[in-house]
Chains A and B, each alone.
Chain A
């Protein structure tokens, strides 16, 4: 292994991660138990599981927003802390978390501003990203003038601003209606196609996980752990995908895995075949 080639084909590597809240107290919670997960560069991974199973916690450990009790997370071949400091990931949350005192464009500029980009360079980059999420016309608007879906698109543009190789998304479409949600899913896939990013995507929706992902990571609560990883092979997605045989097979496989039936493997085999 050469020291001069820091380029890694592994986007994220989680090794033996434990997270225990309030350790040693009466309200102790083991949010994560021995999580091992590798995400290859360019891969789209969904985390799915019942509420409280530790999806957000896992994402926050990878983002270095919280420290694991045990184990470690690596992003782009470096420690999670270094990756955060070097802005090797972009993050989007269920709440768009836009700043009301900034225009839409200046919200997208925020990460660039923190990186010390010049005014004109960051304005140009922000406009490029707003074009990508089809909100260029709203650059001068204030966040509250936008619908929930539009706000979420701004948040996604912001997470892409520094062009990080990895996107961490915690239920970004959770607050949207079904129609908007499907449109946003297609948009996210298109953006991912255009940019080649790796994505870790937390969701409660089985169809959403299957539609978007290369692999669906199924988790179970108390203690939070990975119980199953389901490969999805839908090829390039379009509107027909949602009605395709393989899509339903994937949905069934994930649903069964969530119910804790290892019989999911039969359905899983079909996902690959069809």
Chain B
């Protein structure tokens, strides 16, 4: 316990010093809120309107989770196909890279037109596209990059390709999968949030940040930013916890 405390207090201390300096700067220099609101103003808004913050986070978080789930599923299925059929790998990898290079800002208005803008669907699709790529790339690598000696061992034990997949390739890919999720989970929140800037239902974090800023409620806009950061962090921490539980061998020195 004392070890965990020791790990926690330095960042907490730094955060406190940083926030105090920020507060001091705003007060002493009399900086206007539209330039930089003080931490006390932001936190006042955050806790004052906590229910609003919470509901907005739930809305955007739901979009993010749906996109994360579907994007991960598509990434996993395609990674399995890419491992199994070299052709698929050669076809999909450049396509996936191309898709990942399309800026969501360009795609969002188009998808909003294609699907019902008042529904969540276009936002979930955007998030899916963002999430799919790191999952696909990392898991494919994890399935393919198996120690040659482990493959020979499996062959010497007369293992069928399906057994090799289940007993060797998939477990080998799990650390890669979690690395991808650690990137994809916070990214899914960002994607869900940004996709809200282009219209549709107004209850999400992205819409709220935009409308608060438009109404010169800068403290509240920043409070929503804080809520967004917390949502992204929660996503990341959940992935971290699941990884600890499901794959305790990741991050360890690998045995020879």
Contact = CB atoms under 8 A, between A and B. Distances in A.
Interface of A: 60, 63, 65, 84-85, 87, 89-91, 93, 95-101, 110-111, 113-114, 142-144, 146, 148, 151, 168, 175
B125 to A, nearest CB: 34
Nearest to A155: B153
B99 interface: no
Contacts of B171: 99, 101
B244 interface: no
Given A101-B247, A110-B167, A114-B163, A144 B156 contact: no
Count chain A CB atoms within 10 A of each CB in B158, B159, B247, B253 and give the residue with the most: B158
B97 to A, nearest CB: 30
Nearest to A154: B255
B157 interface: yes
A267 to B, nearest CB: 36
A168 B156 CA distance: 10
Contacts of B254: 100, 144
B147 A144 contact: no
Nearest to A86: B158
A87 B158 contact: yes
B156 A84 contact: yes
Given A96-B255, A114-B163, A144-B252, A63 B150 contact: no
A171 to B, nearest CB: 12
B249 A97 contact: no
A175 B255 CA distance: 13
A168 B157 CA distance: 12
B78 to A, nearest CB: 23
Contact of A95 (B155, B158, B256): B256
B144 interface: no
Given A85-B158, A87-B158, A142-B249, A151 B163 contact: no
Contacts of A144: 249, 252-255
A93 B157 CA distance: 13
B150 to A, nearest CB: 5
A91 B158 contact: no
B152 interface: yes
